[in-house]
Amino acid sequence: MYVPASHRFGHKKTTAVLFTLGALLFTLVVACGGVPKNTLPPRLTEVKRLAAEGSYWFERGCFARAERYFDQALEASRLVDNLEEMVRAYNNLGAVALVQDHYVEAGEHLQKALEFNSLLNSAREEAFTLGNLGSLAFKAGRYQEAEELWEKALVVAKKNPQKSGFAMHLNNLAMLRRKQGRLEEAESLLKRALARAESNGYRPTMANSRMQLGLVAVAQGDFARAEKQLNRALEIDRAAENTIGIAQDLEQIGRLRQQQQLWEKAFLDLDRAIRLYGALGKMEKVNQLYELLEINKAQGEVPESLEPYEGLLVPPDEFWVSPLCK
């Protein structure tokens, strides 16, 4: 989540970014010192500035640029031997690697975060790292391990007075419960997560909770309730300028429209979603949305042609930069 300049060096902030699986959250830590900016030593001020810049670009899907800032934040934290900022930088680098499917690299960074946190002994940082390790296990198909890590992250997060990241861990566990068909449990977890996120005013987590509640409603056959929740998630993500979240919400709304056989409405949402994913360079999602548009064309004759989307199917080269990242 973007941290406004007026807040970057005030209260502690925790940033999480929606991944395109539709529910999985990665914990991105941009926690700022609990003292005013002008009382911080210059080098520590620079560490926090670099971390905040990395957070800004991460949320917008500009992962290469975010990684550069987090690398710089790590090096700057080493110069002042600030253990807390080193742990956060490693966790952030792990999140960047994770969202790009660089599993080995993600694991290395996150293990480093745990290693240094064993000296720091921060429940807050441990919970964040355990949450990301759970996401890594989930993406690798190790669902039982993911569940254990997220549950452990919840327990550790409770030890922190602010319970930082608590709602995100609840959302991830709810996603797993939904995939297991345990819909009532998933809904209960999501309502707890939403209440927590709303009390903190943290919009990306609020949007994720709403989106997942919509998916639970879809699984329960309550399309009216699903539509309400998904549209609310979209409103929140737009207000937060969460590009990935917006694409995710539009995709799920388009899928819902297809289930309702509202082909023209589905096309409008899927068209916007695939173009956003293309602008973010999310090729796996572009291909999935292209298949949905094929179905839409066959069933509803919209779009008239798939030709406008064929250019999006070409993987970007190594020098490609998202227009959203310039």
Does the structure show a pLDDT above 50 at 13?
Answer: no
Q: Specify the pLDDT at position 24.
A: 59
Two structure tokens written together for 282? 């999310």
Residue 322 has, within 13 A of its CA and on its CB side, a CA count of: 22
Q: Specify the pLDDT at position 34.
A: 42
Task: Specify burial of residue 244 (Cβ count, 10 A radius: 0-12, 13-18, 19+).
Answer: buried
Does the structure show a pLDDT above 70 at 267?
Answer: yes
- To 5 degrees, how large is the angle CA 178–CA 289–CA 308? 165
Distance separating alpha carbons of residues 210 and 167, to the nearest angstrom: 12
Q: Specify the pLDDT at position 29.
A: 54
Q: Specify the pLDDT at position 160.
A: 79
Assigned CATH topology for domain 1-164? 1.25.40
**pTM, to two decimals:** 0.84
Distance separating alpha carbons of residues 159 and 52, to the nearest angstrom: 25
Domain with CATH 1.25.40.10 in the chain: 1-164, 189-326
pLDDT digits (tens, 9 = 90+) for 83-95: 999 999 999 999 9
- List, in sequence order, the alpha helices (H) in the chain: 42-59, 63-79, 83-99, 103-120, 123-139, 143-157, 166-179, 183-200, 203-219, 223-240, 243-259, 263-280, 283-300, 307-310
Distance separating alpha carbons of residues 270 and 264, to the nearest angstrom: 10
pLDDT band at 168 (very low <50, low <70, confident <90, very high): very high
pLDDT band at 113 (very low <50, low <70, confident <90, very high): very high
pLDDT band at 296 (very low <50, low <70, confident <90, very high): very high
Two structure tokens written together for 267? 């096309």
Two structure tokens written together for 250? 């539009």
Q: Specify the pLDDT at position 147.
A: 96
Does the structure show a pLDDT above 70 at 26?
Answer: no
Distance separating alpha carbons of residues 172 and 25, to the nearest angstrom: 6
Picking from 151, 82, 95, the residue whose alpha carbon sits closest to that of residue 122 is 82
Which residues are registered as beta bridge partners of 17? 26
Two structure tokens written together for 99? 């969202």
Q: In the 3-class helix/strand/coil scheme, how is 130-182 assigned residue by residue?
A: HHHHHHHHHHCCCHHHHHHHHHHHHHHHCCCCCCCCHHHHHHHHHHHHHHCCC
Q: Which range (30-39, 79-88, 186-195) has the least confidence?
A: 30-39
pLDDT digits (tens, 9 = 90+) for 130-147: 999 999 999 999 999 999
Q: Specify the pLDDT at position 83.
A: 95
Q: Specify the pLDDT at position 51.
A: 95
Amino acid (one-letter) located at 147 = E
**Alpha-carbon dihedral 50, 117, 109, 324, rounded to 10 degrees:** -30
Q: How does the average pLDDT of the chain come out, rounded?
A: 87
Q: Specify the pLDDT at position 16.
A: 34
Quick check: bond before 303 cis, omega within 30? yes
Give me the percent of the chain exceeding a pLDDT of 90: 72
Does the structure show a pLDDT above 80 at 23?
Answer: no
Assigned CATH topology for domain 189-326? 1.25.40
pLDDT digits (tens, 9 = 90+) for 211-261: 999 999 999 999 999 999 999 999 999 998 888 899 999 999 999 999 999
Mean pLDDT in residue range 81-107: 95
Diameter of the chain by CA atoms? Answer: 63
Does the structure show a pLDDT above 90 at 9?
Answer: no
pLDDT digits (tens, 9 = 90+) for 197-222: 999 888 889 999 999 999 999 999 99
